[in-house]
């Protein structure tokens, strides 16, 4: 274990975050009684839609999933066995674990988004928006394709707001002497913890 | 007043046009009982969606709202007070004023779109389409996110058609000796007046 | 006839494929009781949406319809007479003919998509996805704008799957000594025949 490169941890977390996004697509697509083409497409959009929209807005290429076709192939294979897979997972994985994995994914995606936007010289507020877009638009596009008003816009759960706060923490940390790595991990962790806290206490934001 | 630069007038009109778009998003998002995240996002899409789609199709960067983050911040602040704001506005602003501001915005956005498309060497018909897209797709994307058939595609009001006519007027004026500034203002004014006339007389186009 | 250049055949097939896409938009837009603006826009999206999404993902410009404004103008004119046009076509054209034309279009669009993606050095699985996207996302975007769950995701007909198989045939043929032209035509023909066979025998794929 001593010589295990630290990139492995990131890769493992990345895969988990992508799989959690994809599973939210599997579940939504099955609720809509879609066939295997729909199940794959909706899962793919849920997993990669946020980052793809960010990259189109920033005009970044190649897209993440173009460079990592192994993730697309993984979702493709899982889509073929989505039905037994979801049933099995529901028996062995608690809801708590799914919420935790989802919160970890939110933190990672949002911090990756704000960091890439700052690298592309976006103004600060726009950079924070890019972070939130990366974190939530997978779910937004998934719901639009499934012909639903996006959940994240109406359930009052402070999902986007946790991402927004963490993005600004990262922007502020960038102004200090701390290393970029530390800023990334701290901000992602804060987003994850905020999300878990607001879930634990079932906090809601009101309608404006 | 004498030394007030003429850019101020354009900026004021621009802000009004953007705010009218954003307010249409506030109203639609509240009708759908969205939370503050949804209200902000839908307002942002309604205000900037048309120009953003045009810029993606033309491959223009940076996007307008990326260069002017002050508009994004303004909509963000207004979204936080959208509820009292809309109630107050409904008391002090007549429907007539909203229609006028909206018609001004349609003219400005459409003419900006066709002008940018011609600068990018688009063929004429495509350039006129880009003008109409800039003018109407904010509302189209707003309605799609809100899970509605886009209003502008089904209410029979000649909204896009006014923009289309004005875009062709601009294209024709470009072939004459008049200055570009004059062509821009005249075309935008014609779109606004056409829209107000068709509203005044409640004109409809039929289904094909 | 002897000196007729072979590009004519491709152009004729291309026009037919685009028209079949546009007509699917006319029919869907009329079912939603849209006005002429909606009918044109939905038809345009149905005809060009798949290729446009592919080009945005690949960052290719100019877009196909920007270079060929004659197709946009053609759909525009047809949209103005969509109602009598559809009624007339229903009398003189059998459903069988529409299915055949649609299957030809699927083959052409999908093979064009995978070929362009390989030219842009996409990895193989991503290239096959780009082929399928080109073939089916016109209909997907048409259904989203019309506020429907996309038909191709839920009817269980192996539409996307035929395109997927043909795209992989093209990728495999690229590894052999056959000419690119032959690979393109054979793959497109196989997609069309597979689609017609699965239609003839009313084959369905199950839900995963």
**Chain A contact residues (CB < 8 Å to B):** 56-57, 59, 122-126, 129, 136, 140, 144, 147-150, 152-156, 159-161, 204-208
- Write out the two tokens for C33: 């009781």
pLDDT value for C7 = 58
With beta carbons under 8 A apart, name residues in chain B contacting A160.
Answer: 37
**Any idea which of A39-43, B19-23, C5-9, C35-39 has the lowest mean pLDDT?**
C5-9
Closest chain C C-alpha to A192 CA, distance in angstroms: 30
Please say if the pLDDT value at position C184 is more than 80: yes
Higher per-residue confidence, B2 vs B186:
B186
Residue B5 pLDDT grade (very low, low, confident, very high; cuts 50, 70, 90): very low
Mean pLDDT for C21-47 is: 94
φ/ψ of residue B158, rounded to 5: -80, 60
pLDDT value for B201 = 92
Measured between alpha carbons, how far is B127 from B170 in angstroms, rounded to an integer? 10
Please say if the pLDDT value at position A127 is more than 80: yes
With beta carbons under 8 A apart, name residues in chain C contacting A56.
Answer: 56
- B partners (3+ CB pairs within 8 A) are A, C
Q: Tokens 């799609």 correspond to what residue? A: B144
Residue B96 pLDDT grade (very low, low, confident, very high; cuts 50, 70, 90): confident
Please report, to the nearest 10 degrees, the dihedral formed by the alpha carbons of residues C92, C96, C100, C103 taken in order: 120
pLDDT value for A7 = 58
Q: What is the mean pLDDT of chain B?
A: 91
- The closest CB to that of A153, out of B37, B73, B80, belongs to B37
Measured between alpha carbons, how far is B99 from B111 in angstroms, rounded to an integer? 18
**Chain C contact residues (CB < 8 Å to B):** 29-30, 32-39, 41-42, 52, 56, 59, 61, 63, 65-66, 69, 72-73, 76, 79-83, 144-147
Measured between alpha carbons, how far is C10 from C15 in angstroms, rounded to an integer? 9
**Domain extent listing, chain A:** 7-200
**Any idea which of A95-99, C20-24, C110-114, C154-158 has the lowest mean pLDDT?**
A95-99
B156 and C41 within 8 Å at the Cβ level: the answer is: no
A149 and B34 within 8 Å at the Cβ level: the answer is: yes
Nearest by Cα to C136 from C16, C50, C36, C33: C50
Q: Residues B171, B126: contact at Cβ < 8 Å?
A: no
User: How many contacts, defined by CB atoms under 8 Å, are there between A and B?
Assistant: 78
Searching chain B, which residue's CA lies closest to the CA of residue C38? B153
B61 and A56 within 8 Å at the Cβ level: the answer is: no
pLDDT value for B29 = 94
Percent of chain B with pLDDT over 90: 77
**Any idea which of A88-97, B56-65, C31-40 has the lowest mean pLDDT?**
A88-97
pLDDT value for C207 = 65
B36 and A207 within 8 Å at the Cβ level: the answer is: yes
Residue A59 pLDDT grade (very low, low, confident, very high; cuts 50, 70, 90): very high
**Chain B contact residues (CB < 8 Å to C):** 56-59, 122-126, 129, 136, 140, 144, 147-150, 152-156, 159-161, 204-208
**Any idea which of A36-40, A201-205, C149-153 has the lowest mean pLDDT?**
A201-205
pLDDT digit string, tens, across residues B107-116: 999 999 999 9
Interface test with B, best of C38, C52, C76 (most B CBs within 10 A): C38
pLDDT value for A74 = 96
A129-166 exposure pattern, b = at least 16 Cβ within 10 A, e = fewer = bbbbbbbbbbbbbbbbbbeebbbbbbebbbbbbbbbbb
pLDDT value for B23 = 92
pLDDT value for B208 = 63
C72 and B125 within 8 Å at the Cβ level: the answer is: yes
Closest chain A C-alpha to C28 CA, distance in angstroms: 16
Mean pLDDT for A89-93 is: 85
Residue C93 pLDDT grade (very low, low, confident, very high; cuts 50, 70, 90): confident
Interface test with C, best of B116, B145, B153, B205 (most C CBs within 10 A): B153
pLDDT value for C129 = 98
Q: What is the mean pLDDT of chain C?
A: 91
Please say if the pLDDT value at position B86 is more than 60: yes
- A partners (3+ CB pairs within 8 A) are B, C
Mean pLDDT for B22-46 is: 94
Percent of chain C with pLDDT over 90: 78
**Any idea which of A1-5, B67-71, C49-53 has the lowest mean pLDDT?**
A1-5
Please say if the pLDDT value at position B6 is more than 80: no
With beta carbons under 8 A apart, name residues in chain A contacting B63.
Answer: 57
Residue B44 pLDDT grade (very low, low, confident, very high; cuts 50, 70, 90): very high
Searching chain B, which residue's CA lies closest to the CA of residue C37? B153
pLDDT digit string, tens, across residues A1-58: 444 445 567 778 888 889 999 999 999 999 999 999 999 999 999 999 999 999 999 9
Please say if the pLDDT value at position A207 is more than 80: no
Measured between alpha carbons, how far is A99 from C146 in angstroms, rounded to an integer? 33
Higher per-residue confidence, C91 vs A43:
A43
The distance of Cα B34 from the centroid of its chain, to the nearest Å, equals 23
Q: What is the mean pLDDT of chain A?
A: 91
With beta carbons under 8 A apart, name residues in chain A contacting C125.
Answer: 69, 72-73, 76
With beta carbons under 8 A apart, name residues in chain A contacting B41.
Answer: 140, 153
C35 and B123 within 8 Å at the Cβ level: the answer is: no
Mean pLDDT for C45-55 is: 96
B208 and C41 within 8 Å at the Cβ level: the answer is: no
Closest chain B C-alpha to A84 CA, distance in angstroms: 31
CA atoms within 13 A on the CB side of A36: 20
Q: Where are the beta strands (DSSP E) in C7-72?
A: none
With beta carbons under 8 A apart, name residues in chain B contacting C83.
Answer: 207-208
């Amino acid at each position: 274990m001593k010589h295990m490169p630290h990139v492995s941890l990131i890769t493992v977390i990345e895969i988990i975050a992508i799989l959690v996004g994809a599973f939210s697509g599997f579940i939504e697509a099955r609720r809509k009684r879609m066939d295997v083409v729909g199940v794959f497409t909706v899962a793919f959009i849920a997993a990669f839609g946020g980052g793809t929209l960010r990259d189109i807005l920033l005009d970044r290429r190649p897209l993440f999933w173009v460079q990592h076709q192994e993730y697309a192939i993984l979702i493709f294979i899982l889509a073929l066995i989505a039905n037994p897979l979801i049933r099995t997972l529901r028996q062995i994985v608690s809801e708590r674990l799914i919420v935790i994995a989802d919160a970890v994914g939110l933190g990672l995606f949002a911090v990756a988004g704000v960091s890439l936007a700052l690298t592309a010289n976006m103004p600060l507020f726009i950079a924070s928006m890019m972070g939130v877009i990366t974190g939530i638009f997978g779910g937004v596009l998934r719901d639009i394709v499934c012909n639903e008003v996006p959940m994240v816009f109406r359930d009052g759960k402070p999902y986007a707001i946790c991402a927004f706060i963490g993005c600004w923490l990262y922007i502020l940390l960038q102004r200090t002497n701390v290393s970029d790595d530390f800023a990334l991990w701290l901000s992602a962790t804060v987003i994850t913890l905020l999300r878990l806290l607001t879930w634990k206490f079932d906090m809601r934001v009101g309608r404006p």
